[in-house]
A and B are shown apart, each in its own frame.
Chain A
Amino acid sequence: MGASATPIVETIEARRVHRLTGKEVVALDSISVRIERGSFVAVMGRSGSGKSTLLNLIGCLDFPTSGKILLDGRDPGVLDDRAQSRLRNRMIGFLFQSFNLIPQMTVLENVETALVYGDRPEAEWRQRSEGLLERLGILERASHKPGELSGGEAQRAALARALVNGPELLLADEPTGNLDSRTGEEVLGLLTELPAEGRTLVLVTHDPAIAERADRVLSLSDGRLESDRRVR
């Protein structure tokens, strides 16, 4: 079995329970899915259905209470904080609904922040960041602070930051939720190019029209996998 046959993400009976003032809340219940490299997977469900929890587990920001998450066949849960952070830095890019740019830093500094925690030589940072900003069409906003950007520009800056380390996996949580339909469409257009580059896109949305463009749609309800539908 070749390495390419190993799914980029595999969840095995992944379960996440939150304990809130003695009461147990099951955020995610025994999810088992395999996500192939280079695919575009949409995750749907109402709020509280566990979509974001799943995304956080895949992104190593959170860890399952029981079960396992394997990234490229390996379990990040056994690594120490440092190694987990390295993994996040190299392998995973995040995109959030509210952009999550650091307000006191310029667009360029925000993009470079992802490089600061990696181990690429500092000499490459600027060129790499500016190249990506140019590709995403916002190079002229590089020295602006996030507060001075439109929603579309902010999300593109965030996308540049998410992609600057060349991650295999892009995790997007309602990336167009705060954008109007036109700029949302633009951002979505940029995102849907990623699978063609061999990157895997996992996108949380509650918009069926967006989900229809994915290769595969996972529907969650009350922390359970309700359906797993291949669109193409």
Chain B
Amino acid sequence: MTTRSLIQVAIRGLALHKLRSTLSALGIVFGVAAVVAMLSVGEGARREILAEVGRLGINRVTVRAGSLSRSTEVEAGKLQSPGLSLADAEAISEVSPNVESLAPVRTASEQIANGERRAEATLLATTPSFARTEELALAGGRFVADADVSDAKRVIVLGHELRELLFPYDEPVGSGVRIGGEWYSVVGALEPRELSRQGGRMSGRNLNRVAFVPLSCLPRERGLLDEIAVRIDDPGKVRDSARLIESVVRRRHRGALDFEIVVPQELLAGYERARFQFNVVVGAVAALSLLVGGIGIMNIMLANVSERIREIGIRRSLGASREDITRQFLAEALLLTTVGGIAGIVLGFALALGISSYAGWPTAVSVRAILAALILAAATGIGFGLYPAMQAARSSPVEALRRE
């Protein structure tokens, strides 16, 4: 039996009772529509949260020199680790293909003074690429430049809060501040930076309380660093890149665990858990509605089979095998649920649009949701159509032909 004749026979069979077929397919339509709409809401929420995490630095990886515990210090010494240094930064930028920008960092806690005004600050010594790595936005002036680094110029860029504390009434750029015994001239100031609501270790430091100076202003022996800030070009490659960076640094440190890798993207893990719970709920609703829809399909198919028992007998006399009969009724159930599924996808899409405009939630229909809905609908057709189809094939042709 060719597929074409199978479909033709199924269409003819279902057209026998148009209203009955339509009503039984409605169960599938609404079930699929609900699933598609819910998945769209979920997908919309996912995209929004991804955007949020993007602001926190979804592309970021930080290699941080470990605060060595006694045992690891002993171990690191035994293994003769050189410690986190500029050489590591160079190695990372050479080896990792997805590194967009990379900045070595040294930090120190200092008091900054402008005359009588003083502020406790984190002094962050770095190179110009840090601005790109952290996506810093200047409110005025400029950031640390390459020439500042090579010449160890005493220049400073103030974070938003520091600027407000030290220069509440006047323009900082062009003025000087004092750190310990040294004078630094202010060359730039930053825009206020939105802080991550999550807080904790991942979110890093409060950049509004940081003052930036050229890396060479905080010299260390053997080019040692506190951090290497890395930006990865593709958010999807951050975890892989982090793993690669870790292996590079570990090899250079001769296996010593005297550093740690911080990946803000791992913040997503918490969201993923919530998403999993949402998916469980959606899955339960989907299973339930398709169960109800499937029972409706089975009911109708059983009625069809018993009503068309004579047709089955005729087909058997014409040379249809039991398998042919099974396939015919399975095709009818499948056609019913697939068409119902497509209608459900359209309705679900419309529902999602309605929710978007009414409740103001972002929604997004994903291709995956559509495929999943179609596969579910088809599976329902097969699952609930199989028993009636086998029932149809089981009947004896003689008995079937005798029935009116």
Hey, which bits of chain A sit against chain B, CB under 8 A?
56, 59, 61-62, 81-82, 84-86, 88-90, 94, 96, 100-105, 109, 112-114, 116-118, 122, 161, 165
Contact = CB atoms under 8 A, between A and B. Distances in A.
B318 A89 contact: yes
B395 to A, nearest CB: 12
B15 A104 contact: yes
Interface residues of B, number: 28
Given A61-B401, A96-B401, A122-B4, A117 B12 contact: no
A113 B320 CA distance: 9
B316 A118 contact: no
A100 B314 contact: yes
B360 interface: no
B48 interface: no
A207 to B, nearest CB: 22
Contacts of A117: 1, 315, 318-321, 324
B367 interface: no
A180 B8 CA distance: 35
B317 interface: yes
Contacts of B323: 81-82
Contacts of B397: 61-62
Contacts of A101: 314
A89 B401 contact: no
B311 A114 contact: no
A85 B8 CA distance: 21
A64 B32 CA distance: 50
A88 B318 contact: yes
B309 to A, nearest CB: 12
A85 B320 contact: yes
B322 interface: yes
A122 B2 contact: yes
A89 B319 contact: yes
A166 to B, nearest CB: 13
A82 to B, nearest CB: 5
Interface string B5-31: 100110011011000000000000000
- Top 5 nearest A-B pairs by Cβ distance? A89-B319, A85-B321, A117-B319, A61-B397, A116-B5
A90 to B, nearest CB: 7
B311 to A, nearest CB: 5
Contacts of B313: 100
Contact of B319 (A56, A103, A118): A118
B310 interface: yes
A85 B4 contact: no
A88 B322 contact: no
B147 interface: no
Nearest to A90: B319
Contact of B318 (A62, A81, A82, A161): A161
Nearest to A83: B321
A84 B315 CA distance: 13
A229 B96 CA distance: 98
Contact of A61 (B16, B317, B321): B317
B398 interface: yes
A182 B158 CA distance: 111
Contact of B12 (A81, A105, A122, A161): A105
